[in-house]
Amino acid sequence: MNANDDLKALIRTIPDFPKPGIQFRDITTLLLDPSGVARTVERMVTATRGPVDLVAGIEARGFLFAAALAVPLNAGVLLIRKDGKLPGTTIAEDYALEYGQDRIAIHEDALVPGARVLLVDDLIATGGTARAAVRLIRKAGGLVEQAQFLVDLPDLGGADALRGDEIAVDALVS
């Protein structure tokens, strides 16, 4: 048994979602398991390097982990939202999807310069979303040097691309 195989066993694969040919890694089954949630949070806290001021979660599943990590890490929560959802003045960053593009945003005054930010999401695939989040945090004056994911899909190369952006990347499950 490898480390975190217990968590892997709680994640199921749904074929052909959201479209034919995609194997969707569904973490809702892990979230339903009280000890699975606790072990996930505990291991992400252990993997965190040094003090952080904010845990940034990417909409929507990343919010869950950001909030859970913020409490033991004594940090605040930064919501990285799909563009158009935040009420105040925002700054945004575009990123490419397989077809077309998407845009994420934060409030322009969310970060004090030099704030140490830990980026979290449920899963990294191509890395497009996480890399856009890093650009956005840096544009807003934040210091982001680490990112954590529950799942990495290594064949898609996202974690390696993020490492190329000078981010220490940890994932519990591959």
Give the nearer residue to ligand 5GP in terms of CB position, either 109 or 160. Answer: 160
Query: Nearest-5° angle of CA 26, CA 29, CA 34?
Result: 140
Tokens standing for 65? 């982990």
Give the nearer residue to ligand 5GP in terms of CB position, either 114 or 155. Answer: 155
Q: Which residues bind ligand 5GP (CB under 6 A)?
A: 24-25, 27, 58, 61, 121-130, 158
Give the nearer residue to ligand 5GP in terms of CB position, either 27 or 54. Answer: 27
Give the nearer residue to ligand 5GP in terms of CB position, either 31 or 86. Answer: 31
Please confirm, yes or no, whether 42 is among the known catalytic residues.
no
Tokens standing for 83? 């563009």
Please confirm, yes or no, whether 61 is among the known catalytic residues.
yes
Q: Which residues in 110-146 are b (16+ Cβ under 10 Å) and which e? A: bbeeebebbbbbbbbbbbbbbbbbbbbbeebebebbb
Q: Which of 39, 43, 59, 61 is catalytic?
A: 61
Phi, psi torsion values for 23, nearest 5 degrees: -100, 100
CB of 154 to ligand 5GP, least distance (A): 12
CB of 59 to ligand 5GP, least distance (A): 8
Phi, psi torsion values for 41, nearest 5 degrees: -65, -45
CB of 142 to ligand 5GP, least distance (A): 19
Which positions are catalytic?
A: 61, 98
